[in-house]
Chain A
Amino acid sequence: KNEVEQSPQNLTAQEGEFITINCSYSVGISALHWLQQHPGGGIVSLFMLSSGKKKHGRLIATINIQEKHSSLHITASHPRDSAVYICAVYPFYFGTGTSLTVIP
């Protein structure tokens, strides 16, 4: 069992839909990260969370430390959001990624 589990593994949405990606972890953390990897490969850090909620544009990330669970939400999804989203506890633990495709 992976120390960081993500769901769903694959997600297809219509443009404009609200999207949620979930991450559960079993290790102690000081921070959890959400990463974005576009086709073509580069990894970009979206959020670093140690508590509560953060928002950046249409992206919102939340974390519940007691439940060891985090969610990444995308509001009004757009085809350019199509990417793989990865949650991570540095440096050892990475989720298997959620491949998101947003259809126009």
Chain B
Amino acid sequence: DTAVSQTPKYLVTQMGNDKSIKCEQNLGHDTMYWYKQDSKKFLKIMFSYNNKELIINETVPNRFSPKSPDKAHLNLHINSLELGDSAVYFCASSPDSNEQFFGPGTRLTVL
């Protein structure tokens, strides 16, 4: 009955690899987000999709590409991973602009 789920929870990989993080929500929300949380716990928005359409795309390297196959899923694909990509990535979903439900996070470590 998890509202917003992410897989995997932990991801350890080598520099230069390509990896994906999956996010699914069963809340029926139209809007989903990806956030990056750095080592100082600072959250920064990366992308937002509304009904499979990209609506927010902050200054994020082109190596990051979100994909939304349907409004319940928003996956994050990262090409050519770099050391600086190591962070915790949170997916969230929202019924409107005033509320968000966060996933459990994916801790990405790039070696």
Q: Tell whether, in the assembled complex, residue B105 and residue A91 are in contact, meaning their CB atoms are under 8 Å apart.
A: no
Interface hit among A15-23, A57-65, A70-78, A94-102 = A94-102
Instruction: Provide the bound-state CA to CA distance between A41 and B9, in Å.
Output: 10
Q: Tell whether, in the assembled complex, residue B102 and residue A90 are in contact, meaning their CB atoms are under 8 Å apart.
A: no
Q: Tell whether, in the assembled complex, residue A43 and residue B56 are in contact, meaning their CB atoms are under 8 Å apart.
A: no
Which of chain A's residues have a CB closer than 8 A to the CB of B98? Answer: 30-31, 48, 90
User: Which residue of chain A has the shortest Cβ distance to B104 in the bound complex?
Assistant: A42
Q: Tell whether, in the assembled complex, residue A91 and residue B88 are in contact, meaning their CB atoms are under 8 Å apart.
A: no
CB distance from B60 to the nearest CB of A (A): 13
B67 touches A (CB below 8 Å):
no
How big is chain A's contact interface, by range? 20 to 34
**0 or 1 for each of B80-111: is its CB under 8 Å from A? (1 = yes):** 00000000101000100111111011010000
Of B41, B48, B101, B102, chain A has the most CB atoms within 10 Å of the CB of: B41
Q: Tell whether, in the assembled complex, residue B100 and residue A37 are in contact, meaning their CB atoms are under 8 Å apart.
A: no
How big is chain B's contact interface, by range? 20 to 34
CB distance from B32 to the nearest CB of A (A): 11
Q: Tell whether, in the assembled complex, residue B33 and residue A91 are in contact, meaning their CB atoms are under 8 Å apart.
A: yes
Across the interface, A41 reaches (CB within 8 A) one of B56, B94, B107, namely B107
B11 touches A (CB below 8 Å):
no
Q: Tell whether, in the assembled complex, residue A88 and residue B101 are in contact, meaning their CB atoms are under 8 Å apart.
A: no
Across the interface, B102 reaches (CB within 8 A) one of A42, A48, A92, namely A42
Q: Tell whether, in the assembled complex, residue B97 and residue A97 are in contact, meaning their CB atoms are under 8 Å apart.
A: no
Which of chain B's residues have a CB closer than 8 A to the CB of A43? Answer: 90, 102, 105
CB distance from A84 to the nearest CB of B (A): 5
Instruction: Provide the bound-state CA to CA distance between A11 and B102, in Å.
Output: 25
Q: Which residues of B contact A (CB under 8 A)?
A: 33, 40-45, 48, 56, 88, 90, 94, 97-102, 104-105, 107
Q: Which residues of A contact B (CB under 8 A)?
A: 30-31, 33, 35, 37, 41-45, 48, 84, 86, 88, 90-92, 94, 96-97, 99
